[in-house]
Amino acid sequence: MDALKKNKVPDRTSVTLIWRRAMLASEDGKELWVLKWSILEIKHMYRRLNLVAGMLAILSAGMVIGCKTQQGKLEFVSPGNESRILKGEKVEVRLKFPNPLVDSVVYSVDGDVFERKTDTTAVVFDSDTHGYGNIRLSAKVYAQGKEDIAYREVTVVPPAARTYAFEVIGTFPHDQGAFTQGLYWDQGNLFETTGQMGESTLRKVDLSTGKVLQKADMASDEFGEGMTVVGDKMYVLTWQNNKGHVYDKNSFRLLKSFEYQNSKEGWGLTHDGKRFIKSDGSNKLYFLDPATLAETGSISVFDENGPVDSLNELEYIEGKVYANLYYGDRDEVVIIDPLSGAVEGRINFVGLYSENRAPYDNEMNGIAYKADSGTLLVTGKHWTKIFEVRINER
């Protein structure tokens, strides 16, 4: 009983003592139930002994299985999962091998092999050979007739974007009723498109007075978006109608329409002298054939933190694409290299416009480049002003 009270496993000596006590009690003429009770006590102690032995066996088996599972796990040590890698950086790739004896290790990025080894030493991944964006590193190990594979997700990013300040050099009146979506300066004339269902328009505006000189309404079921001018034509996007339109710049007469393809929405549109560049609110820029307006490709836009989405109204300026970001909490324009998709510059326009600003639907939207002065005309949805600004690197 003492052994049971102390939760100890009974040994042979304890069992013998209990049995002897029972025999002495019988010799002294005590009741037979004492002997029966002692026998039950012995059985109970052995039952405890078997239970403990079983538990120890289970724990031992679990430890063995756990060790085998941990020992058999192939995994990356570096680079870290979902880490950002600066383009051009040479990154050491190291693995934790369950067994140092391997036949071969094949290293790949997005399925393309970049290194083969016959030992467990580290290899080097050159990020300069890949574009910006998310990539998957993999390592396949062959050993003793078996194979194992491990993966690692990383993102290749460009260097930190340069920051620019703005200087206001002119202010002009703007129709507060205009839900500005596109803006373009063409040989002394300001062209503008506005949005909202049933209210979307094309406009020719006198910059100095804000007076609308010419206007055409879009279809009542269309939400007007970004636009640009090439030669004697205006190219205008709709938001979710999956099509854009071509107008005569002088008469505002609709000439033809074109359908979107991989880009399902229309946000911003510009022209680099050879092709059209279109945004759809994602982090992609799409390239359109100048004659057919069919999409010929796309590029993803990244900054030092990863993908940059909500690309909105666009303007092509001296080899770079300037894009409004459609963020309600800040007025920001990014400068994008259209060849690589890297954000090379960032202009923070916070503080430019606050007077009589609407509580919502007030985002900065509209960039027009005045090539003769090297300045920008910028405005926003329901803004009462258009600002002429000069950009300077901080």
pLDDT tops 90 at residue 383: yes
Give yes or no for a contact between 166 and 349, defined as CB atoms under 8 angstroms apart.
Answer: yes
pLDDT at 255: 97
pLDDT tops 50 at residue 380: yes
d(CA 141, CA 122): 13
| Percent above pLDDT 90 for the chain | 72
φ, ψ dihedrals at 363, nearest 5°: -65, 145
- What is the overall mean pLDDT for the chain? 85
pLDDT tops 50 at residue 3: no
What is the DSSP secondary structure assignment for residue 342, as one 8-state letter? Answer: B
Query: How would residue 118 be classed by pLDDT, with cut points 50, 70 and 90?
Result: very high
Q: 32-41, 147-156, 195-204: lowest mean pLDDT where?
A: 32-41
Query: Average pLDDT, stretch 131-137?
Result: 91
pLDDT at 47: 56
Question: Parallel, antiparallel, or unpaired: how do β-strands 146-157 and 83-86 relate?
Answer: parallel
pLDDT at 21: 55
pLDDT at 61: 47
pLDDT tops 50 at residue 394: yes
pLDDT tops 90 at residue 367: yes
Task: Kindly report, residue by residue over 164-176, the tens digit of the pLDDT.
Answer: 999 999 999 999 9
pLDDT at 130: 85
pLDDT at 48: 52
Query: How would residue 328 be classed by pLDDT, with cut points 50, 70 and 90?
Result: confident
pLDDT at 330: 82
Q: 5-14, 190-199, 208-217, 257-266: lowest mean pLDDT where?
A: 5-14
Query: How would residue 20 be classed by pLDDT, with cut points 50, 70 and 90?
Result: low
Q: 41-55, 94-108, 184-198, 218-232: lowest mean pLDDT where?
A: 41-55
Tokens of 366: 């509209």
pLDDT, greater one: 182 or 24 = 182
Residue 293 pairs in a beta bridge with none
pLDDT tops 80 at residue 9: no
* Residue with tokens 């109970």, as numbered in its chain: 44
Question: Parallel, antiparallel, or unpaired: how do β-strands 162-173 and 201-205 relate?
Answer: unpaired
d(CA 143, CA 243): 56
pLDDT tops 50 at residue 126: yes
Give yes or no for a contact between 166 and 154, defined as CB atoms under 8 angstroms apart.
Answer: no
Return the sign of the alpha-carbon dihedral for residues 259, 263, 265, 268: negative
d(CA 338, CA 297): 12
pLDDT at 14: 52
Query: How would residue 195 be classed by pLDDT, with cut points 50, 70 and 90?
Result: very high
pLDDT tops 60 at residue 144: yes
pLDDT at 81: 86
pLDDT tops 80 at residue 114: yes
pLDDT at 44: 53
d(CA 159, CA 261): 32
pLDDT, greater one: 163 or 65 = 163
Task: Kindly report, residue by residue over 238-292, the tens digit of the pLDDT.
Answer: 999 999 999 999 999 999 999 999 998 999 999 999 999 999 999 999 999 999 9
Residue 182 pairs in a beta bridge with 193
d(CA 332, CA 348): 5
pLDDT at 301: 96
pLDDT tops 80 at residue 98: yes
